[in-house]
Amino acid sequence: METAIILFGALSVALLGALAFAVYTIRKLKEAEKRSVETDEMSGLLNRDGFMHAGRLALERGGDMSLVIFDVDKLGLINTLFGTDRGDDVIGAFAVAINEIKCAGDIVGRVNTDDFALLTGMEPHIAAECFERKLREIITDKDMSEQVNYFAGISRYDGHDDIYTLYNKANLCLLMHPDGSRVSEFTPDMESRMVENELLRSEMLDALKLGQFELYYQPKVSFKTGDILGVEALIRWHHPVKGFIPPCDFIPLAEQFAIITKIDEWGLITACRQCKQWQDMGLPPVKVSVNMSQAQFARTDVYASVTKALEVTGLEPKYLEIEVTETMAMTDVDRTVDVLGRIHELGVSISMDDFGTGYSSLASLKTIPFDVLKIDRSLVCDLNENDTSRRITGAIVAMGKALRMVVLAEGVETNEQSKLLGEIGCDLAQGYYFSKPLPASEIEAMLILPLNSKIV
Ligand code: C2E
Ligand code: CA
Ligand code: CA
């Protein structure tokens, strides 16, 4: 009997021990499973669920926290153009940078394919500066460094928001990135602007179908003869309720969405058709220039659009000019050189817009077959008062001439500016002094009666 009791006791202890071990093992397995469910395999950082979970706990502990989201710019494009290995390298660099700048108590995660989040006790703008320094330290390859860009959105914990609200606010900064700035902080008015933009976006789609867009044309005048040699097509939106909306209020917004490609295609074909129509009316032939946005270039086959527009409208290529900005031309140099080169071979002119802003580098002038150099309005406007602007403009004109380009001055508003630019050696002028952008019908009258009197 005694032996039986001892045996039973030993068995119970062994069973209890086994049970405890099993419970311990299951808990550990569950923890490991949870860790893997909450970890982003590629970066080794917390994934979105993990970040939100850890973030919620951190906010519950209280304290002065801010959320910074770093959004890798054009990761899809990097993957497509330079291969997924390069894309993976970029993600790796972001993961290391964000992990290395975090302080005790901070939480970092990869919350989307191209978004990294930092919940931090640091002053968020300082955290963003540290990130920038660290990232550039990590990316030593010069080519890669040029391809890599990002935007950062900041929201500060106000003691009430939950982690999701905090996240949405930082994310809103990324959607809006006001003034195109790289780092922006959430402000309450962003929410109302976001709603407005959303409305404007859906209205833009309708605007195309309902024919609310119109192209105005601004003459380009020869300094030598005063003849109008070309016109620039500039879009206008006649909104049924808000009235006239200038392009600067909707083009940047359209560029964030696929709608810009539809707008630019419409602009290209409409401008070509108008130019051909003027010729068919027997008016002196002029060249029409069309603005091409960076998004259009990145998302569509611009060469195909140009050939189609010329074919459909019957306009000869020598009467079409495409205006691109330097930033656009330098975004994806190889592809840009190739596409613009082929468009140029068709006989279409290529114009560098807004020269004198941005980098204004010689590199882009050397590699891309630009026919026209447009000196930016910011240089022209203080030409008569500012000696430096005058000297820079003179140097640009000399350089353009040396490269056998036509040099055009934009934003000419006064007779004094016009005189000086003519003396410096500019070929063409465009600006309010000669004419504001006008509807096609008013340009017709000008083509019959040129602006020769303005050139003295
Ligand atoms: P941009 O290509 O640099 O066009 C020149 C802008 O300067 C035009 O503004 C024009 O009206 C304005 N301007 C011309 N002369 C003067 C002057 O003497 N003084 C002043 N103060 N301004 C002058 P607009 O029409 O408001 O267009 C703004 C920008 O919107 C354009 O800058 C261009 O980047 C973009 N844009 C316009 N139409 C289109 C389009 O059809 N497609 C695309 N992608 N962008 C467009
Ligand atoms: Ca332009
Ligand atoms: Ca311009």
Tens digit of each residue's pLDDT (9 = 90 or more) over 281-323: 999 999 999 999 888 887 788 999 999 999 999 999 999 999 9
Nearest-angstrom CA–CA distance, 289 and 230: 7
Q: For residues 142 and 348, what is the distance between their CA atoms, to the nearest angstrom?
A: 34
Phi, psi of 72 (to 5 degrees): -65, 125
Indicate if ligand 1 lies below 6 Å from the C-beta of 408: no
For ligand 1, is residue 324 a contact (CB within 6 Å)?
no
DSSP label of 385 = T
> Closest by alpha carbon to 395, among 427, 366, 365, 424?
424
**Residue to probe by mutation, ligand 1, list 232, 291, 381, most atoms within 8 Å of CB:** 291
pLDDT at 389: 84
Average the pLDDT over each of 157-161, 326-330, 340-344, 350-354 and give the range with the smallest value. Answer: 326-330
Q: 375 and 399 in contact (C-beta within 8 Å)?
A: no
CB of 432 within 6 A of ligand 1: the answer is yes
* Residue nearest (by alpha carbon) to ligand 1 atom 13: 411
CB-neighbour burial class of residue 126 (10 A; exposed 0-12, middle 13-18, buried 19+): exposed
CB hemisphere CA count around 402 (13 angstroms): 9
Residue 195 CA to ligand 2 center (angstroms) comes to: 29
- Taking residues 368-385, what's their average pLDDT? 92
**pLDDT confidence tier of residue 356, bands split at 50, 70 and 90:** confident
In short, whether 376's Cβ falls inside 6 Å of ligand 1 is no
What span, in angstroms and rounded, lies between the C-alpha atoms of 89 and 434? 52
Query: What's the burial of 88, exposed, middle or buried (CB within 10 Å: 0-12/13-18/19+)?
Result: middle
Q: Where are the beta strands (DSSP E) in 209-286?
A: 213-222, 228-239, 243-245
For ligand 1, whether the C-beta of 267 sits within 6 Å is yes
Task: Give the type of residue at 139.
Answer: I
> Does residue 99 have a pLDDT over 90?
yes
Give distance in angstroms: CA of 131 to centre of ligand 2: 36
How far apart CA 318 and CA 144 sit, in angstroms, is: 38
Give the pairing type, strands 428-429 and 406-409.
Answer: parallel
Q: Which ligand is nearest to the CA of 289?
A: 2
Neighbours of ion ligand 2 (CB under 5 A): 291, 323, 353
What 171-174 contacts at long range (C-beta under 8 Å, 24+ apart), as own/partner pairs, is: 171/69, 173/69, 174/69, 174/71, 174/115
Question: If pLDDT is split at 50, 70 and 90, which confidence band does 25 have?
Answer: low
179 phi-psi bin (left φ>0, alpha ψ -120 to 50, beta other): left
pLDDT at residue number 197: 82
- Per-residue pLDDT band at 128 (split at 50, 70, 90): very high
Q: Which residues contact 248 (CB under 8 A, 6 or more apart)?
A: none
Please count the CA atoms within 13 angstroms of the CA of 142 that sit on its side-chain side: 0
| Main-chain dihedrals φ then ψ at residue 333, nearest 5 degrees | -55, -50
What percent of the chain lies above the pLDDT cut of 90?
A: 61
Comparing 352 with 142, the larger pLDDT belongs to 352
d(CA 327, CA 357): 10
| pLDDT higher than threshold 60 for residue 324 | yes
pLDDT tens track for 398-418: 999 999 999 999 999 999 999
pLDDT recorded at residue 281: 94
52 band by pLDDT with thresholds 50, 70 and 90: very high
pLDDT of 9 higher than 60 = no
Q: Whose CA is nearest to atom 21 of ligand 1?
A: 411
pLDDT at 149: 86
Question: In the predicted model, what is the mean pLDDT of residues 203-222?
Answer: 95
Whose alpha carbon is nearest atom 41 of ligand 1?
235
Confidence band, pLDDT 50/70/90 cuts, at residue 191:
confident
User: What pLDDT shows up at residue 361?
Assistant: 67
Asked whether the predicted pLDDT for residue 5 surpasses 60, the reply is no
Find the range with the poorest average confidence among 11-20, 220-229, 402-411: 11-20
Mutate to test the pocket of ligand 1, among 234, 352, 379 (most ligand atoms within 8 A of CB): 234
For residue 427, the CA-to-ligand 2 centroid distance in Å is: 17
Query: Nearest ligand to the C-alpha of residue 252?
Result: 1
CA distances from 159 to 69, 75, 118, 185, 196 (A): 19, 34, 17, 17, 28
More confident residue, 33 or 222: 222
Round to whole Å and give the CA distance between 98 and 116. 8
CA–CA separation, 11 vs 20, rounded Å? 14
